[in-house]
Amino acid sequence: MSNERLTALLAEYAELEARLADPSIHADQAAARKVGRRFAELTPIHKTAHELDAARADLEAARELAAIDPDFATEAVSLEQRLPELEEKLAELLAPRDPNDAKDVILEIKSGEGGEESALFAGDLLRMYLRYAERRGWITEVLDSQDSDLGGVKDVSVAIKTRGVPDGGNGVWSRLKWEGGVHRVQRVPATESQGRIHTSAAGVLVMPEAEDTEVEIDTGDLRIDVYRSQGAGGQSVNTTDSAVRITHIPTGTVVTCQNERSQLQNKDKAMRMLRAKLAQLAEEQALAAAADARKAQIRTVDRSERIRTYNYPQNRITDHRIGYTAYNLDLAIGGDMDGVLEALTTADRAARLAGETELSRA
């Protein structure tokens, strides 16, 4: 491990601790939240480093006292065994990590190949994520949704947030960043009368939610259109032009929101989605400029480009990036996703500790 890096992080921890103790910082909630998240991220490092220093001092003392009292020899052996565990834990905490791990996310699900069955599957994925968020105690907010005729979803955007400061700097992004890509389902559709198994797909895009101060948007670069909200089947769901479509002209990025009856509320939610998309676009461009090998999340909903398969007849869930397979699809689709997400997190941690680039999210 790098002693210089550890020293720098501990100094940063002390600085952040002093800033949080200053009442004036809480006048700016955005600044307080940013400092609080970073402080929470560094807290495990500070705690483990303190435990390691204390264990080393205790070992030295136990060795000295063992010459006088043999009972201390047993304590010295115990401390000698504990030191490698603490050193390994600290090395893991000091390994490079994703700078977005503490952030909340905006998650989009789009139906793709498979027609109405794909929309039904997209609805199943939406419920899976909402139930998983509920299990974690996260807050969810549907920003925009376009339902299908049979109760599925064609396109949905959901904001998912932690309550307060995420523990250890591990926010929603640290868990759900792996979900970006194409999800494939194999099952007998509700629309199938012959009992045949069909394959369809839905696309998931996960973006860290950007703070207002992280992305500067020139209002002159925006084209804002308003129109009447449409429901499943094309029917109008209200009688006013409250739906909002925002186009960021320089990048061609388009976002829409029609869930609220208020045009202002729809605009605010659309701007949140736009900030997240532009922040991610800027990150991808920076990585490309640096010739980074990390792949972008898949944006085409093609069954051949899947990251995960949900096979209902076999009750099987398979993540193709790490070769993970489990026969508990019923639990996973019901919101118990920790098995596959822990496997992905473990694979990524191993790659980071080995000095490799992070596990590809797509």
Mean pLDDT of the chain: 85
Is the pLDDT confidence value at 231 over 80?
A: no
pTM: 0.75
The predicted pLDDT at position 300 comes to 43
Return the structure tokens found at 266. 């729809």
Give pLDDT tens digits for 109-136: 999 876 889 999 999 999 999 999 999 9
**φ, ψ for residue 217 (rounded to 5)?**
-115, 120
Which of 178-187, 229-238, 243-252, 350-359 has the lowest average pLDDT?
229-238
Give pLDDT tens digits for 288-334: 654 443 344 544 444 446 899 999 999 999 999 999 999 999 999 99
Strand order in the sheet with 222-227: 222-227, 243-248, 253-257
The predicted pLDDT at position 215 comes to 82
Contact call for residues 156 and 122 (beta carbons, < 8 A): yes
* Of 3 and 177, more confident: 177
What DSSP element (H or E) covers 90? helix 71-94
Beta-bridge mates of residue 224? 246
Contact call for residues 107 and 179 (beta carbons, < 8 A): yes
The predicted pLDDT at position 360 comes to 57
Return the structure tokens found at 362. 């797509």
The predicted pLDDT at position 303 comes to 44
* Residue 227 binned pLDDT confidence (cut-offs 50, 70, 90): confident
Give pLDDT tens digits for 244-284: 999 999 999 999 998 888 899 999 999 999 999 998 888 87
d(CA 147, CA 116): 11
SS3 114: coil
**φ, ψ for residue 113 (rounded to 5)?**
-65, 140
